[in-house]
């Protein structure tokens, strides 16, 4: 199914991105998707140690973000009420040696780090291999401010790209949203008439 067919299929839905990430916004916009942004107010304070794997943790965070927004908009009495709603909840953490790394709390943390009714959940895993980094390279990168709002304290779409030696998987996933996998999942849902 072509992307244009999927996008036409979504015309009969209210599509909401439950994120204020400019990277996720750009990636979805560049696909031609018509959507609105309603950032989730979910606190993202789930205890990581209660999840058997990082994928379970990230899926639960994404689900809670989507449910938070869905609960808020389900009380609205607007023209949207005739449309079914699709809420896109996302979360990105980085896992290094089994430890989940999220957005750094401060510059020192960034230095030490060196990703409903019938919910449909999926996750996409991407592995990166960084080249050797000297402490002065890391400090110079942190001084740009770029890593401070990113899981794992680096931005593949920015200056940190020069640190990455290998990528295995979807590079858009590292930037903030697995566009190809999202389209694949939409195609699957459309083929089963679940949208």
For the chain, domain boundaries: 3-191
* 97 noted as active-site residue: no
pLDDT tens digit sequence for 45-102: 899 889 999 999 999 999 999 999 999 988 775 655 667 888 999 998 888 777 787 7
CATH placement of domain 3-191: 3.90.950.10
- From the list 30, 68, 91, 137, the catalytic residue is 91
pLDDT tens digit sequence for 150-182: 888 888 888 888 889 999 999 998 888 898 998
Contact 1, 187 (CB under 8 A): yes
| Least trusted range by pLDDT, from 27-31, 108-112, 122-126, 142-146 | 108-112
């Amino acid at each position: 199914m072509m992307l244009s067919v999927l996008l036409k299929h979504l015309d009969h839905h209210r599509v909401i991105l439950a994120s204020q990430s400019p990277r996720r916004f750009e990636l979805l916009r560049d696909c031609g998707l018509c959507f609105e942004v309603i950032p989730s107010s979910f606190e993202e304070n789930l205890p990581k140690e209660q999840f058997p794997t990082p994928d379970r943790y990230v899926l639960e965070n994404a689900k809670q973000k989507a449910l938070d927004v869905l609960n808020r908009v389900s009380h609205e009495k607007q023209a949207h009420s005739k449309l079914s709603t699709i809420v896109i909840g996302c979360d990105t953490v980085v896992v290094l040696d089994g430890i989940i790394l999220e957005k750094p709390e401060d510059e020192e943390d960034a230095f030490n780090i060196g990703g409903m009714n019938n919910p449909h959940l999926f996750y996409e895993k991407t592995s990166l291999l960084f080249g050797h980094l000297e402490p002065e390279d890391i400090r110079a990168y942190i001084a740009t401010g770029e890593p401070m709002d990113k899981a794992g304290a680096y931005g593949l779409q920015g200056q940190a790209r020069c640190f990455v030696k290998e990528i295995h998987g979807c590079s858009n996933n590292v930037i903030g949203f697995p566009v190809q996998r999202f389209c694949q999942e939409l195609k699957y849902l459309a083929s089963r008439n679940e949208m």
